[in-house]
Structure 1
Amino acid sequence: MKGRSIILDHINGLEAAAYLVDGQLDDLLIDQPEAPRPGAIYRAICDRPIKGQGGMMLRLPEGGTAFLRAAKGLRQGQPLLVQVTGYAEGAKAVPVTDRVLFKSRYAIVTPGKPGLNISRQIVDEDIRDNLLAVAHEVHEGDHGLILRSSCEGADPAEIADDITAMLDLADAVLADATGDQPEALTEGDSPHVLAWRDWTGASEIVTEPGSFAARGVLDQIVALGQALVPLGEGQMYVEPTRALVAVDVNTGSDTSPAAALKANLAAARALPRALRLRGLGGQISVDFVSISKAHRKQVEQSLRASFKNDPVETSLVGWTPMGLFELQRKRERLPLSADLLRRL
Structure 2
Amino acid sequence: MSLKDHPTSQPIPLPTRDSMRLAEKILVNITPQETRVAVLEDNVVQELHIEREASRGIVGNIYLGRVKRVLPGMQSAFIEIGLERAAFLHIADILEQRQHPSEPQRIEKMLFEGQTVLVQVIKDPIGSKGARLSTQVSLAGRFLVHLPQEEHIGVSQKIEAETDRTSLKTRLESLLPEGSPRGYIIRTSAETASDDELAADIGYLSKLWTDIRARAETQPAQSLLYQDLPLSLRVLRDMVSEATEKVVVDSTENHGRMVEFAAQYVSQSLRKIERYAGERPLFELHGIESEIDKSLSRRVNLKFGGYLIIDQTEAMTTIDVNTGGFVGVKSFDDTIFKTNLEATHAIARQLRLRNLGGIIIVDFIDMDSEQHREAVLTELARALARDRTRVTLNGFTSLGLVEITRKRTRESLAHVLCESCPTCQGRGEIKTAQTVCYEILREVVRENRQFSARGFRILAAQPVIDLFLDEESQSLAMLADFVGKPVTLQVETEYPQEQFDVVLMSN
Which position in structure 1 is the counterpart of 2:358? Answer: 282
Residues 317, 135 of structure 1: alpha-carbon distance in 2 compared, 3 angstrom cutoff: closer
Which position in structure 2 is the counterpart of 1:18? Answer: 38
Contact 1:36 1:187 in 2 (8 A): no
The 2-side partners of 1:324 and 1:13 are apart by 42
Alignment of 1:1-344 (within 5 A): 4-10=24-30, 13-31=33-51, 34=55, 40=60, 102-104=140-142, 109=146, 112-114=151-153, 140-144=180-184, 148-149=193-194, 151=196, 162=204, 164-166=206-208, 168=210, 187-197=227-237, 198-200=239-241, 201-209=243-251, 210-233=281-304, 234-256=306-328, 257=331, 258-292=334-368, 294=370, 295-337=372-414, 340=417
The 1-side partners of 2:231 and 2:360 are apart by 25
* Superimposed CA distance per residue, residues 222-245 of structure 1 (whole angstroms, 9 cap, x where no aligned partner): 221122223324322222123321
Deviation for aligned residue 1:187: 4.9
The 2-side partners of 1:12 and 1:338 are apart by 21
Contact 2:141 2:205 in 1 (8 A): no
SS at the partner of 1:31?
A: strand
Amino acid at match of 1:149: S
Deviation for aligned residue 1:204: 2.5
* Superimposed CA distance per residue, residues 271-306 of structure 1 (whole angstroms, 9 cap, x where no aligned partner): 222011112212211110101361222222222222
Deviation for aligned residue 1:5: 2.4
The 2-side partners of 1:219 and 1:238 are apart by 18
Which position in structure 2 is the counterpart of 1:126? Answer: none
Residues 227, 42 of structure 1: alpha-carbon distance in 2 compared, 3 angstrom cutoff: farther
Amino acid at match of 2:234: L
SS at the partner of 1:232?
A: coil
Structure with greater helix percent: 2
The 2-side partners of 1:35 and 1:326 are apart by 33
Q: Which has the higher contact order (CA 8 A, sep 6+)?
A: 1
Residues 140, 21 of structure 1: alpha-carbon distance in 2 compared, 3 angstrom cutoff: same
Residues 149, 243 of structure 1: alpha-carbon distance in 2 compared, 3 angstrom cutoff: same
Deviation for aligned residue 1:30: 0.7
Amino acid at match of 1:231: L
Deviation for aligned residue 1:215: 3.1
Which position in structure 1 is the counterpart of 2:17? Answer: none
The 2-side partners of 1:162 and 1:230 are apart by 43
Percent of paired sites with the same residue: 24
Contact 1:138 1:160 in 2 (8 A): no
* Superimposed CA distance per residue, residues 193-248 of structure 1 (whole angstroms, 9 cap, x where no aligned partner): 23212232332222124422333322221221122223324322222123321101
Amino acid at match of 2:231: P
SS at the partner of 2:398?
A: coil
Residues 302, 22 of structure 1: alpha-carbon distance in 2 compared, 3 angstrom cutoff: closer
TM, length-normalised to structure 2: 0.44
The 2-side partners of 1:145 and 1:31 are apart by 26
The 2-side partners of 1:334 and 1:162 are apart by 26
Point out where structure 2 has 5 or more consecutive residues left out of the alignment.
1-21, 64-85, 89-97, 108-118, 124-135, 155-170, 215-223, 252-280, 420-507
The 1-side partners of 2:322 and 2:138 are apart by 43
Based on CA coordinates, which of the two structures has the bigger radius of gyration?
A: 2
Residues 3, 136 of structure 1: alpha-carbon distance in 2 compared, 3 angstrom cutoff: closer
Contact 1:108 1:166 in 2 (8 A): no
Root mean square deviation, CA, Å: 4.9
Residues 192, 298 of structure 1: alpha-carbon distance in 2 compared, 3 angstrom cutoff: same
Residues 3, 281 of structure 1: alpha-carbon distance in 2 compared, 3 angstrom cutoff: closer
Residues 205, 262 of structure 1: alpha-carbon distance in 2 compared, 3 angstrom cutoff: same
Contact 1:4 1:20 in 2 (8 A): yes
Amino acid at match of 1:193: L
Structure with greater strand percent: 1
Deviation for aligned residue 1:150: 8.2
The 2-side partners of 1:99 and 1:246 are apart by 39
Which position in structure 1 is the counterpart of 2:476? Answer: none
Residues 255, 82 of structure 1: alpha-carbon distance in 2 compared, 3 angstrom cutoff: farther
Amino acid at match of 2:43: G
SS at the partner of 1:239?
A: strand
The alignment of Structure 1 onto Structure 2 pairs a total of residues equal to 278
SS at the partner of 1:296?
A: helix
The 2-side partners of 1:62 and 1:267 are apart by 50
The 1-side partners of 2:399 and 2:391 are apart by 22
Deviation for aligned residue 1:170: 8.9
The 2-side partners of 1:5 and 1:270 are apart by 19
TM, length-normalised to structure 1: 0.62
SS at the partner of 2:55?
A: coil
Deviation for aligned residue 1:168: 3.2
Amino acid at match of 1:191: L
Contact 1:7 1:18 in 2 (8 A): yes
Residues 196, 270 of structure 1: alpha-carbon distance in 2 compared, 3 angstrom cutoff: same
The 1-side partners of 2:142 and 2:377 are apart by 33
Deviation for aligned residue 1:34: 3.3
SS at the partner of 2:244?
A: coil
The 1-side partners of 2:233 and 2:389 are apart by 17
The 1-side partners of 2:46 and 2:324 are apart by 24
